[in-house]
Amino acid sequence: MSMQVLAFVASAAIAVTCGWILGGWAHRALYRLSMFARIPLRDQTALRLRGPLALLVGVVAWDIALWLFDLDHDLIGTIGLLVALAWAAMRLVDGGIESVAMRSQWISGHRVSQSLLPAARRAAHVAIAVIACVMILSTLGYAVGALVAGLVIVGFAVALGAQKTVENLFGAFAIGVDTPFKEGDYIKLPDGTQGTVEDIGLRSTRIRTLDRTLVSVPNGRLAEAQIEALTERDRVRFDVKLKLELGATTQQLEHVLAGLRDLLKAHPHRSPEPPSVHLVAIAESCFELEAMAWFQASWPEFESIRDRLLISCLEVVARAGVKLHAAPNPPIASAPTPRAPATRPWPVGEPS
C-alpha cells in the first residue's frame, strides 16, 4: 500500500514537472506560430492557452506515469482531459469574443452590442462548465440521465420565469443589429411619445421627452414597434395654407401665387424638387392657397427657416394688397333675463 502511495506521489510530481516544462515549450511554439500567422489578436489567444496547455501536458504525463507504475490511470486521465479541454474552451471563447469586439467596426460603434458581449461570455462559460460536469459525473459512474432531465426542466422553468427579461435582452440585440435609432436621435413612438434617446440599455431604452421627463421603454416593445427616427430625415417639408378674403381679384391672386413660388425657389436651402404653390379651393368665405417645398436642413435649422418663410409669406400677401381671411367670432350667448316673482292679486289675509 505504501509503495502504491509513493508511486502515486511520484507520478504526480512527474506530471507537474512535465506540465510546467513541456507545457511551456508547447505554449511558446504555439505563440510563435500565431506571430507568423499575422492575424490580429491570434497571439493574445495563444497567451490565454498557456494554463490549459500546461494542464493538458501534465495530465498526459501523469497518465503515462501511472501506466508505467502499473496503477489505475483510466479515470484520472479522462477527468483531467475533460477539465483541460473545458478550460481551453473557455479561454478560446474569451479570445474569440475579444477578437470580435476589437476587430468589428459595427460592435465598436454600438454600445448595446458591447454590453451584450460580457453576458454572452458568461453564458458560454456556464454552458461549458455544465457540459464538463455532466461528462465527469458520467465518467465516475453516476446516472446522469435524471440530472440532464432535471437541468432541462430547470432551464425551461427559468426561461418561462424570465420570459420578459429574455425578450428585452433579445430586443436590445435586435436594436443593435438593425439600428433603427441610436443614442442622441430624436424619435417618435406609435403612442405619441417623442424625445431624444439618452441611453440604450440591456433591458430598456430611456427617452428624454420635450417636457424634460425621462421615459423608460422596454426593448422588447421597441423591437416590434414602428418607430419614426426624425433625426434621420434627409429633408424637411415646409407646408403652409393661406386663406384670403373673397374680395381679392384674380390679378391679386396671381401675384400672391407668383410671389410665393419665387420666394421658395430662391431659398438656398431648398431641395432640388420644385416647390408646389396652388390655389386649392374656393370656399364660401375665402380663397384657400397651399405652398409646399422640401428643405435640406436639420430640425433646429429648419425651425429658423420656417420662421423667416412664414413672415415672408405674410409680406407677399401684403404687397399684393390682399387681406387674410379672419374666421368669424363665435356668438356669445347672452345670459337669460331673470323673471320677476309672481305677485298675488290680493293682499294676504283679505277675503276674496
Specify whether 121 is located in the same domain as 73: yes
Specify whether 179 is located in the same domain as 69: no
Residue 215 cell numbers, joined: 421615459
Hey, which bits of the chain come out as E strands? 186-188, 194-200, 204-209, 214-218, 228-229, 236-245, 276-282, 286-295
Tell me whether residue 131 is in a domain. Answer: yes
Distance of alpha carbon 26 from alpha carbon 16, whole angstroms: 15
3-state secondary structure of 224: helix
Specify whether 14 is located in the same domain as 131: yes
Specify whether 118 is located in the same domain as 14: yes
pLDDT digits (tens, 9 = 90+) for 325-348: 875 555 544 445 555 555 554 444
Specify whether 7 is located in the same domain as 127: yes
Q: Which domain holds residue 45?
A: 2-135
Q: With beta carbons less than 8 A apart as the criterion, state whether 299 and 230 touch.
A: yes
Specify whether 55 is located in the same domain as 111: yes
Q: For residue 296, give the CATH number of its domain.
A: 3.30.70.100
Q: In this predicted structure, what is the pLDDT of residue 30? A: 65
pLDDT digits (tens, 9 = 90+) for 289-336: 999 999 998 877 888 999 999 999 999 999 999 999 875 555 544 445
Q: In this predicted structure, what is the pLDDT of residue 40? A: 46
Q: With beta carbons less than 8 A apart as the criterion, state whether 84 and 50 touch.
A: no
Tell me the backbone φ, ψ of residue 64, rounded to 5 degrees.
-70, -40
What does the buried/exposed string (b/e) look like for 100-119 if buried means 16 or more CB atoms within 10 Å of the residue's CB?
A: ebeeeeebeebebbeebeee
pLDDT beneath 70, residues of the chain: 1-16, 18-49, 62-63, 65-77, 99-116, 158-163, 327-352
The last residue of a domain, from among 85, 120, 135: 135
Q: What is the DSSP string of 297-319?
A: S-HHHHHHHHHHHHHHHHHHHHH
Q: In this predicted structure, what is the pLDDT of residue 133? A: 87
Specify whether 15 is located in the same domain as 130: yes
Specify whether 187 is located in the same domain as 76: no
Q: How many domains does the chain have?
A: 3
Tell me whether residue 43 is in a domain. Answer: yes
Tell me whether residue 343 is in a domain. Answer: no
Q: In this predicted structure, what is the pLDDT of residue 257? A: 95
Give the type of residue at 351: P
Q: How many CB atoms lie within 10 A of CB 6?
A: 11
Specify whether 17 is located in the same domain as 109: yes
Residue 23 cell numbers, joined: 507545457
Q: For residue 174, give the CATH number of its domain.
A: 2.30.30.60
Sign of CA dihedral 93, 97, 103, 106: positive
Question: Mutual orientation of helices 145-161 and 111-139 as an angle, nearest 10°?
Answer: 160
Tell me whether residue 157 is in a domain. Answer: no
